[in-house]
Amino acid sequence: MDSEVGVLITGAGAPGAPGIIYCLNQQGDMRLRLVGVDIDEGAVGFSLVDNHYVIPQPETDEFIPKVLDICERENIRVILPLVTRELIPLSKAKKDFNERGVYLPISDEDVMKVLNDKHKLSVRAKEAGVSVPDFRLATNIAELRAYASELGYPNRPICIKPPISNGMRGLRILDENKDRLELLLSEKPTGVYSTLDEVIAILEGADDFPPYLVMEYLPGEEYTIDAMADKGEMVVSVPRLRQRIRSGISFDARVVRDKRLIEMTRLLIEGLDIDGVCGFQFRESDEGTPCLIESNPRLQGTVILTAGAGVNIPYLLVRMALGEKIEVGNIKWGMSIKRYWGWFFFDKDGSPYPF
């Protein structure tokens, strides 16, 4: 292909952005022009793309018009969203983008509202035949106490989290048996362990009770699935075992050929009519059954491992945008990744400084 293909990457400052940009730069049969956008003028990904723009917050009325303007100015053919908060506004505007020849590889708004809501997702996943942890939705403190008791607390640990959140925000593992002194002295202040009384003491100070999903605690291995779908049909599903996690990000992971996870991904895609890119997270129960815990209906931060295993999903999404037939080659099962911190230098004027 002689002409450049414009690709817009949102959330250029997201932790996974450098890896996704790397994926796009690794293919050799297509000339890509990469444009990054972010709400932060200091987004690190701006140093890795051909051009960049600062955009409004996704909740504002200016967000979609600004992104449309950038797409027209930069001759963008495909948008790769990396930010969860942008997904609903973008899905609402899919028709506007499509009419301008811009492909958005995400599900429609009604599907997106299920994928972004952990309670709705759990209900629909269960209906589709996918294993989920035992769960309840608490809408007040009395329900929170009652549901915690129903799930075995305080004799057993439980997990609570807001139905709509990402990046471990609002997540707590409630465990009365954890040594509080040990947590204070040995755990980092970002730890997720707490007790029901501690959480309730905080929630009582809220003007309105924020709904909380009360769930069975799953102690087993955690997996992430990178998947692609074409109008409700699975194109590819690649599970990854998360061996070391820091602040919700995989720092040590391995691609695994787990037929159970691949089949459950297919059930989710077909049952929810998912389109484009999507990710799922599973965790094993006491009995070793993988249970769905959440969805990331966008490119995930460690999709670079899947690319290293032979399935370059960011690039495949570009090819899908151009109407090309997607063929997945041999997957290098067992491929692993180890992450480390990288860096960029900038001079006093904010210009990249080589070092």
Show which of 185, 216, 247 is a domain's final residue. 216
What is the number of structural domains in the chain?
3
Tell me how crowded residue 227 is: count the other CB atoms within 10 A of its CB.
Answer: 26
Check residues 52 and 190 and name the one with the higher pLDDT. 52
Q: Mark whether 119 and 235 lie in a shared domain.
A: yes
CATH number at residue 227: 3.30.470.20
Residues 310-335 have pLDDT tens digits of 999 999 999 999 999 888 989 999 99
Show which of 216, 241, 262 is a domain's final residue. 216
pTM for this prediction: 0.92
Q: Mark whether 200 and 81 lie in a shared domain.
A: no
Tell me the C-alpha distance between 8 and 10, whole Å. Answer: 6
Is the pLDDT at 1 greater than 80? The verdict is no
Residue 345 domain-assigned?
no
Report pLDDT for 167: 72
Q: Mark whether 157 and 209 lie in a shared domain.
A: yes
Question: What number is the average pLDDT over the span 10-22?
Answer: 96
Q: Are strands 233-246 and 222-230 parallel, antiparallel or unpaired?
A: antiparallel
Q: Mark whether 225 and 211 lie in a shared domain.
A: no
Question: What number is the average pLDDT over the span 30-52?
Answer: 96
Is the pLDDT at 343 greater than 60? The verdict is yes
Q: Mark whether 122 and 244 lie in a shared domain.
A: yes
Maximum Cα–Cα distance for the chain, whole Å?
65
Report pLDDT for 318: 96
Show which of 174, 195, 216 is a domain's final residue. 216
Residue 351 domain-assigned?
no
Return the minimum-mean-pLDDT range out of 24-28, 37-41, 185-189: 185-189
Residue 85 domain-assigned?
yes
Q: Across the chain, what does the average pLDDT equal?
A: 94
Tell me how crowded residue 166 is: count the other CB atoms within 10 A of its CB.
Answer: 17
Residue 343 domain-assigned?
no
Residues 231-252 have pLDDT tens digits of 999 999 999 999 887 767 888 9
Tell me the C-alpha distance between 93 and 109, whole Å. Answer: 9
Residues 202-218 have pLDDT tens digits of 999 999 999 999 999 99
Q: Mark whether 120 and 260 lie in a shared domain.
A: yes
Q: Mark whether 33 and 179 lie in a shared domain.
A: no
Report pLDDT for 115: 97
CATH number at residue 173: 3.30.1490
Contacts (Cβ under 8 Å, ≥6 apart) of 36: 8, 9, 12, 17, 21, 43, 45, 46, 48, 49, 51, 52, 53
Q: Mark whether 326 and 225 lie in a shared domain.
A: yes
Residue 346 domain-assigned?
no
Q: Which residues span the domain enclosing 78?
A: 5-105
Residue 349 domain-assigned?
no
Rg (CA), the chain: 21
Q: Mark whether 165 and 150 lie in a shared domain.
A: yes
Q: Mark whether 254 and 126 lie in a shared domain.
A: yes
Q: Which of 322, 296, 34 is nearest to 168 (CA)?
A: 296
Tell me the C-alpha distance between 130 and 31, whole Å. Answer: 40
Report pLDDT for 2: 58
Q: Mark whether 230 and 287 lie in a shared domain.
A: yes
Q: Mark whether 125 and 267 lie in a shared domain.
A: yes
Residue 70 domain-assigned?
yes
Is the separation of the CB atoms in 351 and 46 below 8 Å?
Answer: no
% of the chain beyond a pLDDT of 70: 99
Report pLDDT for 269: 98
Residue 255 domain-assigned?
yes
